Structure 1
Amino acid sequence: MNSDHERDAALVRAVELREQGHAERAREPLVELAERYPEDAEIAYQTAWVHDVLGLEAEAVPFYERALSGAGLTDRDRHGAFLGLGSTRRVLGQYESAVQTLRRALEEFPDDPALQAFLAMALYNSGEGRQAVRLLLRTLAATSSDRRVGDYRRAIEHYADDLDAVQREGT
């Protein structure tokens, strides 16, 4: 049996365990795979994910970083790795790093509402509440399928850029 086949089979088994709710059982084989294939972005991403699922955020970070620094992730997995790393850094209180990660993600995946929502949370945590609200309002206006939000989309977008606008009487 060649090593590529062994790698693929072991990765499939570990991912299936995680997907079936057995993250603890998936963790050890994923860590072993990550040690055997340190340059493999897909394995690094899956290893980060299992650590996140288990609430081991600090342990997930280096695997997310490894996944994003390598090649071979699908766009979907690259997006997930960015979101996972940004979210994890925010949960760990690394707010500026979370903001940087999520902004970098939005360079690759512009206008992605999930990334924008997580960026807004990180901005809020880093003391940039005004920018966070602006981003959330713009995301709401752009993505909501609610008819009433749609009716007021232009106003929401306008006020997102000028939250302190006050109409003075007689002007």
Structure 2
Amino acid sequence: MSAPDKNELLAQAVRLREQGHPEQARERLLSLTADYPDAVDVAYHTAWVHDVLGLEAEAVPYYERCLQGDALREEDRRGALLGLGSTYRVLGRFGQAVETLRRGVAEFPDDGALRTFLSMALFNTGEHHEAMQILLRLVAETSGSPGVQRYRTAIEHYATDLNETM
């Protein structure tokens, strides 16, 4: 019987995380990272498990590694940009959070989660006007609330300039 390959070992570690065993997943992922230091998918899941465990500072280098180049699958790249931006924000590195999340929104403009986290980071940097613009547009576009939809045109209008009173 042959030894499991990288993809099989990675899948096992991801399952451990998903099943509520993040410490065990972390141990396996750190071992995989040592064996496959250039594997962006391993770096991504290693970052993720560190975030799950509240080890944000330890997650950063793995997020940064997995985002170098364009080898990461699209959905994982989206998650890594959100994860890194959010992690920077949690660590108080607000400028880096904004930069990372802007890059995410540029690559994935329809992703409401990226836009939401960008608005939070913008709030933290004192860019309240832009933060509100993003959130108001997101609410107008995505809300299923009949009241919001009834006033969608007004909400979108005010999103461009909150100081205007019509």
Q: TM-score, normalised by structure 1?
A: 0.92
Aligned to 2:54: 55
Conservation of the 8 A alpha-carbon contact between 1:82 and 1:101: yes
Q: Which amino acid aligns with 1:120?
A: S
Aligned to 2:108: 109
Q: Distance in 1 between matches of 2:60 and 2:160?
A: 34
Listed as ranges, the gaps of 5+ residues in structure 2 are: none
Report the Cα offset of residue 75 of structure 1: 1.4
Q: Deviations over 1:118-162 (max 9, x none)?
A: 000000001111111111001111111111111111100111111
Q: TM-score, normalised by structure 2?
A: 0.95
Aligned to 1:17: 16
Q: Distance in 1 between matches of 2:143 and 2:120?
A: 19
Aligned-residue identity in percent: 57
Matches within 5 A, 1:18-167: 18-167=17-166
Q: How many residues align?
A: 165
Q: Distance in 1 between matches of 2:165 and 2:70?
A: 50
Report the Cα offset of residue 71 of structure 1: 3.9
Q: Which amino acid aligns with 1:65?
A: E
Q: Distance in 2 between matches of 1:157 and 1:89?
A: 30
Q: Deviations over 1:24-78 (max 9, x none)?
A: 1111110111121111110000000000000000000010111111443221111
Listed as ranges, the gaps of 5+ residues in structure 1 are: none
Larger radius of gyration: 1
Q: Distance in 1 between matches of 2:108 and 2:7?
A: 28
Q: Distance in 2 between matches of 1:70 and 1:59?
A: 21
Conservation of the 8 A alpha-carbon contact between 1:39 and 1:70: no
Report the Cα offset of residue 112 of structure 1: 1.4
Report the Cα offset of residue 111 of structure 1: 2.6
Which stretch shifts more, 143-152 or 53-62? Answer: 143-152
Aligned Cα root-mean-square deviation (Å): 1.2
Q: Which amino acid aligns with 2:109?
A: P
Which stretch shifts more, 70-79 or 144-153? Answer: 70-79
Q: Which amino acid aligns with 1:27?
A: R
